Amino acid sequence: MATENRKLHIAMLPWLAFGHILPYLELAKHIALKGHKISFISTPRNIDRLPKLPSHISPFIRFVKIPLQPVENLPKDAEATTDLPYDKVQYLKIAYDAMRDSIHHFLQTNKPDWIFFDFAAYWAGPIATELNISSAFFSIMIAAVLGFLGPAPVLISGYGTLDEPEVLTASPKWVNFPTTVAFRLYEVLRMKDSFTGNMSEASDIYRFGAGIKSCDVLLIRSCSEFEPEWLHLVEEIHQKLVFPVGQLSPLTIDNCDDESNGAWTGGSIKQWLDSQEKGSVIYVAFGSEAKPSQEELTEIAHGLELSGLPFFWVLRKQRGEFDTDLNELPKGFEQRTKDRGVVCMGWAPQLKILSHDSVGGFLTHSGWSSVVEAISYEKALILLPFLADQGLNARLLEEKKMAYSIPRDEREGTFTRDSVANSLSLVMLEEGGKVYRENAKNMRELFADKRKQEKYVENLMKYLQKHREIQKENGDTTHSKES
């Protein structure tokens, strides 16, 4: 049988955050379309919350439910970062690490050809090596983020536990081309525990380094047309094959999701958007993890009010039911803006909202899934990053004139209602913001072209098939995982 015709079995192990789980699932769907088998591993509650698979894909994707062990300080039924306030996520990592024996048993019993694992599962690479299974570190973060963060030894050292946070606010020595991609000081200070560690056994940055070091190949959610110099740099600093897997724009707008369809047609969302002028509405949402402070929320609300623009705001007042620090809107805000704005306190169908003609711009945390979805529907971007890779994403988008960031204090990260209102008006209405509106349209083909996406997956699968055949011919003794 020709190598390229042999169907593979791939296990996927994303971190317990929907910003990670959903891109993994999107890649799984693209691979399943080629007839390959996927074992998608997560916890029961997370799997139950996933959108329903299209019928022509579902036979190829098996969901593997591995329950979390009870962990002190981790509330029962909290299985994803969206269920928890930020300070409790460290306990979710402890529970995740405790899954490794179950993962080992699954891999040993089912013997997939490959495992794709996420940063948090840094222990998956060594398990795969022991069991003669090929492994790929699949980064849902773009190449600019991995390139900026640097080589595995630097990651494993945690930048010397980050005694000088300012080191991350400038382009590092291994980046050999001019760029503005770097953290702001407030971004580093807000996530210092990612570098210095927490209650779990390893810091986030250590996990990245150890995971990349132990894998056979590195997969990145990106495309070579978008950030070629960063993809080349990542390959250079890690001395591993790097495969961009495309931007993973969602295959379908509704994902066969009954909840999405019900909220859209049964509720008033579509009806309200239908009543607005084309391109006039600013959509506001900060993803499943980012939660503005009360002070930030107040300034965002007043900024929306001052802008005079119609808006649809998906507001999370808390991170899951165990978050006791509830945010509140300014007194009288909803009453004062009821004629031109909607505040949605629950879940909302983001793809359908972004696809609507009345939406012209998106005020977002710059999580990459949200960026991809916005550009896929030609929506101008106004950025307000909060955590993790979001600041680096924002810098790259600013550099490419694809988005405008709300001005903030460099150390504290504070911003004003006036800066929110002025930023929204600039990008949505003014001549000075025309470049952002036009680039949102110009980049659509790159982010949402299905043929380009298919080509990336085809190239990846050819390599995975060939690599696995060579491994089998050599008795699975050719793993070379040191960077």
SS3 for the chain is: CCHHHCCCEEEEECCCCHHHHHHHHHHHHHHHCCCCEEEEEECHHHHHCCCCCCCCCHHHEEEEECCCCCCCCCCCCCCCHHHCCHHHHHHHHHHHHCCHHHHHHHHHHHCCCEEEECCCCCCHHHHHHHCCCEEEEEECCCHHHHHHHCCHHHHHHHHHHHCCHHHHHCCCCCCCCCCCCCCCHHHHHHCCHHHHCCCCCCCHHHHHHHHHHHCCEEEECCCCCCCHHHHHHHHHHHCCCEEECCCCCCCCCCCCCHHHHHHHHHCCHHHHHHCCCCCCEEEEECCCCCCCCHHHHHHHHHHHHHHCCCEEEECCCCCCCCCCCCCCCCCCHHHHHCCCEEEECCCCCHHHHHHCCCEEEEEECCCHHHHHHHHHCCCEEEECCCCCCHHHHHHHHHHCCCEEECCCCCCCCCCCHHHHHHHHHHHHCCHHHHHHHHHHHHCHHHHHCHHHHHHHHHHHHHHHHHHHHHHHHCCCCCCCCCC
Is residue 479 situated within a structural domain? Answer: no
For residue 214, pLDDT over 70 is answered with yes
83 and 24 in one domain? yes
Is residue 473 situated within a structural domain? Answer: no
User: What per-residue confidence (pLDDT) applies to 478?
Assistant: 42
User: What per-residue confidence (pLDDT) applies to 289?
Assistant: 75
Is residue 227 situated within a structural domain? Answer: yes
376 and 245 in one domain? no
Higher-scoring residue by pLDDT: 119, 289: 119
148 and 31 in one domain? yes
180 and 153 in one domain? yes
149 and 106 in one domain? yes
High-pLDDT (> 90) share of the chain, %: 69
For residue 84, pLDDT over 50 is answered with yes
User: What per-residue confidence (pLDDT) applies to 257?
Assistant: 47
User: What per-residue confidence (pLDDT) applies to 291?
Assistant: 77
For residue 110, pLDDT over 90 is answered with yes
Structure tokens given for 224: 């070579």
For residue 475, pLDDT over 80 is answered with no
Determine the Cα–Cα distance for residues 45 and 23; give it in Å rounded to an integer: 18
User: What per-residue confidence (pLDDT) applies to 192?
Assistant: 76
Residue 400: which pLDDT band, with cuts at 50, 70 and 90?
very high
What's 121's domain CATH number? 3.40.50.2000
User: What per-residue confidence (pLDDT) applies to 387?
Assistant: 83
User: What per-residue confidence (pLDDT) applies to 1?
Assistant: 43
Is residue 478 situated within a structural domain? Answer: no
Determine the Cα–Cα distance for residues 187 and 49; give it in Å rounded to an integer: 30
Least confident of 21-25, 130-134, 351-355, 467-471: 467-471
The arithmetic mean of pLDDT across residues 64-72, rounded, is 95
Residue 299: which pLDDT band, with cuts at 50, 70 and 90?
very high
β partners of residue 134:
114
pLDDT tens track for 241-292: 999 999 998 866 554 444 445 556 556 888 889 999 999 999 999 987 777 8
Question: Residue 409, Cβ neighbours under 10 Å: how many?
Answer: 12
Domain extent at residue 309: 262-445
Sign of CA dihedral 28, 32, 36, 42: positive
For residue 95, pLDDT over 80 is answered with yes
Domain count, the chain: 2
User: What per-residue confidence (pLDDT) applies to 72?
Assistant: 92
User: What per-residue confidence (pLDDT) applies to 292?
Assistant: 86
Is residue 372 situated within a structural domain? Answer: yes
270 and 191 in one domain? no
Chain position carrying tokens 């306030």? 85
pLDDT tens track for 160-200: 655 677 888 899 999 999 999 999 998 888 887 777 777 88
For residue 149, pLDDT over 50 is answered with yes
Question: Residue 30, Cβ neighbours under 10 Å: how many?
Answer: 23
Higher-scoring residue by pLDDT: 324, 26: 26
Determine the Cα–Cα distance for residues 147 and 412; give it in Å rounded to an integer: 26
User: What per-residue confidence (pLDDT) applies to 480?
Assistant: 44
Is residue 389 situated within a structural domain? Answer: yes
306 and 402 in one domain? yes
421 and 458 in one domain? no
176 and 77 in one domain? yes
Tell me the C-alpha to C-alpha distance, in Å, between residue 305 and each of 27, 337, 397, 405, 450.
Answer: 39, 7, 26, 19, 38
**Residue (of 258, 286, 283) closest to 273 by Cα position:** 283
36 and 52 in one domain? yes
The arithmetic mean of pLDDT across residues 74-95, rounded, is 91
373 and 247 in one domain? no
Averaged pLDDT score across all residues of the chain: 89
With both helix axes pointing from N to C terminus, report the angle between 368-376 and 390-399 in degrees, rounded to the nearest 10.
40
φ, ψ (nearest 5 deg) of residue 343:
-110, 115
pLDDT tens track for 430-466: 999 999 999 999 999 889 888 998 999 999 999 999 8
Is residue 472 situated within a structural domain? Answer: no
Question: What is the number of alpha carbons within 13 Å of residue 426 lying toward its C-beta?
Answer: 20
272 and 218 in one domain? no
Is residue 195 situated within a structural domain? Answer: yes
